[in-house]
């Protein structure tokens, strides 16, 4: 699954390029796209833009793959409204980040997700990325939330295999644990992970999709080789703050006119851009 970028042109959402990127993902074998996640720069989209990006994704996909809408906020009422809107538009599921900045307790996290899940009848995937939010969902809290019928899984982006394996151990096989760290996708699959919500698949959808497909077809040696092929690219996507490198990479590939982002994000430093270009060339993407 791809945490898809939001293209901008002269400060506005570039709908034409967004639709083209969606087609590139579908052609690459990706099973789902996630609009308005971290990679989609949800933090700097207005509410109208946020809703429109999800509308475009659903319209362009037309049921061919899943659309999992990013609908999180550090404001429970706001997250609830975004989630309800996504459901009304026809999203297949919602990816909801932990509240950021206000740093709720574990009970606060539980009540936040419980309120949304009980208010909107849509499958919900929790999103744990403490490096960005300043708060981590404890595995025990995830296990409590997993008992709520429509909370079906978690995007685990703490970077900790202990965190991920504790969640898998506590929640059982029916709860979907997805890698939120591209560099850990193969190890996580090996301990019971069910897939990945990827940044790297924005530029290499076919390879990331093939890695997962080969793994679940029990072709583990092929999957392992694909993982190590992708690993330098996975690291390169985080030379600077995401989505700077991935947007720069897409521009190098001709998939975007530029890597335009919104302040406070700025273009990559030249030294990192050069390193990224070298990795892209070695992977055969440019």
Q: What is the pLDDT of residues 213-225, one digit of tens each?
A: 999 999 999 999 9
Give dist(CA 81, CA 72) in Å, integer: 10
217's enclosing H/E stretch is none
224 lies in some domain = no
E-strand ranges in the chain read 2-3, 8-9, 12-13, 32-34, 66-70, 93-97, 124-128, 151-156, 176-179, 195-196
Domain range for 41 is 2-216
Could you tell me if 237 and 204 are in contact, meaning their C-beta atoms sit under 8 angstroms apart?
A: no
**For residue range 140-155, what is the model confidence (pLDDT) as tens digits?**
999 999 999 999 999 9
State the catalytic residue, choosing from 17, 81, 85, 155.
155
**Domain containing 59 — which CATH number?**
3.20.20.70
> Among all chains, which residue has been given the structure tokens 């996507």?
237
Give dist(CA 46, CA 41) in Å, integer: 10
Mean of per-residue pLDDT scores for the chain: 97
To the question of pTM greater than 0.75 for the whole model, the response is yes
Q: How buried is 173 (Cβ within 10 angstroms: 0-12 exposed, 13-18 middle, 19+ buried)?
A: exposed
State the catalytic residue, choosing from 17, 81, 85, 127.
127
266 lies in some domain = no
For the chain, what is the radius of gyration of the CA atoms? Answer: 18
Mean pLDDT for 180-186 is: 97
274 lies in some domain = no
54 lies in some domain = yes
Share of the chain above pLDDT 70, in %: 100
pLDDT-derived band at 173, boundaries 50, 70, 90: confident
Q: How many domains does the chain have?
A: 1
**Beta strand 32-34 pairing with 195-196:** unpaired
255 lies in some domain = no
98's enclosing H/E stretch is none
Per-residue model confidence (pLDDT) at position 72: 96
pLDDT-derived band at 18, boundaries 50, 70, 90: very high
pLDDT at 188 over 90: yes
280 lies in some domain = no
The encoded tokens of residue 6 equal 């939001």
**For residue range 74-124, what is the model confidence (pLDDT) as tens digits?**
999 999 999 999 999 999 999 999 999 999 999 999 999 999 999 999 999
pLDDT at 189 over 90: yes
265 lies in some domain = no
- Would residue 100 show up in a list of annotated catalytic residues for this protein? no
Report in angstroms the alpha-carbon separations of 279 from 111, 168, 206, 250.
43, 33, 17, 13
Give dist(CA 64, CA 88) in Å, integer: 18
47 lies in some domain = yes
- Would residue 228 show up in a list of annotated catalytic residues for this protein? no
């Amino acid at each position: 699954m791809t945490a898809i970028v939001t293209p901008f042109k002269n400060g506005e959402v570039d709908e034409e390029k967004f639709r083209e990127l969606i087609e590139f993902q579908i052609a690459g074998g990706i099973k789902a796209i996630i609009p308005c996640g971290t990679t989609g720069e949800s933090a700097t989209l207005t509410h109208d833009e946020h809703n429109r990006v999800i509308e475009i994704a659903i319209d362009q996909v037309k049921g061919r793959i899943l659309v999992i809408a990013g609908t999180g906020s550090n404001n429970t009422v706001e997250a609830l409204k975004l989630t309800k809107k996504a459901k009304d538009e026809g999203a297949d599921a919602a990816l909801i980040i932990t509240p950021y900045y206000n740093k709720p307790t574990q009970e606060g996290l539980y009540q936040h997700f419980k309120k949304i899940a009980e208010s909107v009848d849509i499958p919900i995937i929790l999103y744990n990325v403490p490096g960005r939010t300043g708060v981590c969902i404890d595995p025990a809290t995830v296990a409590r939330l997993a008992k709520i019928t429509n909370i079906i899984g978690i995007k685990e982006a703490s970077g900790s295999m202990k965190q991920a394996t504790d969640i898998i151990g506590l929640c059982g096989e029916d709860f979907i644990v997805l890698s939120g760290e591209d560099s850990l996708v193969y190890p996580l699959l090996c301990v019971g992970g069910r897939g990945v919500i990827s940044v790297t698949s924005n530029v290499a959808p076919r390879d990331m999709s093939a890695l997962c497909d080969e793994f679940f077809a029990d072709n583990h040696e092929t999957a392992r080789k694909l993982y190590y092929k992708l690993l330098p690219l996975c690291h390169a996507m985080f030379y600077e703050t995401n989505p700077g490198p991935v947007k720069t990479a897409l521009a190098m590939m001709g998939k975007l006119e530029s890597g335009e982002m919104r302040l406070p994000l700025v273009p990559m430093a030249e030294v990192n851009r050069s390193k990224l270009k070298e990795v892209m060339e070695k992977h055969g993407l440019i």
